[in-house]
Amino acid sequence: MQLDIVRETQQILGKGEGNLMSVLPTAIKRLIQDRAWEGRIKKVGLESVEVKDFEDLVTTKLPYGLETTISDLIHYCRKEPEVQTMIKAEIGEAGKQGGTGANQYSKERNTQLATEGQTANRNLKRLKRDRPDLAEEVIAGRISANAAAIQAGFRKKTKSIPINTPQEAVSALLRVFDGDTLMAALIDIQNTKEAS
């Protein structure tokens, strides 16, 4: 009897073998093509509920889901851009702003620390909701989620500045701003401090 694709994918992830990155993309591709989450049931407390979407299947704990993250799947499939594109296409859009906060005490797992991949996924969700044109550019791999979020005005452009010494910090800032602009900013900040 052939294993269902979800169980097969669970086993591939569980083994974590050295060939994970060559075997898993094929399973993920089939899982998405078959829309394996549709009609699948999971337990939430004592309740049986339907798995909502691909992302829900990925993050739901074993034995009902894959118990991993979208970021991890994208990482494991990094040698297969087509599969990465399929995964990104399945990421849902962000919820509407100004929600009720009902998820605050939910029993659903939502305790992961923000990583670079998770931030990219959050950016992509928001782009899907608010700027679908830029979301398509991200999914197609023509622009990063961060660059698209900056272009959309969701994020500000940032720069890492070493702070070992004032000279290192100023030197890094001089790679972004000219000396006159920096000096004017320092004088303005100093005047503001003195006035308060």
Number of Cβ within a 10 Å radius of residue 149: 24
Judge whether residue 126 has pLDDT over 90: yes
pLDDT at 3: 59
Judge whether residue 14 has pLDDT over 60: yes
The span from the CA of 160 to the CA of 163, in Å, is 9
Here the tokens at position 52 are 């909502």
Q: How many CA atoms lie within 13 A of 148 on its CB side?
A: 26
| Cβ(139)–Cβ(85) below 8 Å | yes
The sign of the torsion formed by the CA atoms of 125, 128, 131, 135 equals: positive
Q: What is the mean pLDDT of residues 82-91?
A: 94
pLDDT at 1: 37
pLDDT in tens, 47-57: 999 999 999 99
Question: Max Cα separation, the chain?
Answer: 78
Judge whether residue 93 has pLDDT over 70: yes
The span from the CA of 133 to the CA of 25, in Å, is 27
Judge whether residue 150 has pLDDT over 80: yes
pLDDT at 15: 85
Judge whether residue 158 has pLDDT over 70: yes
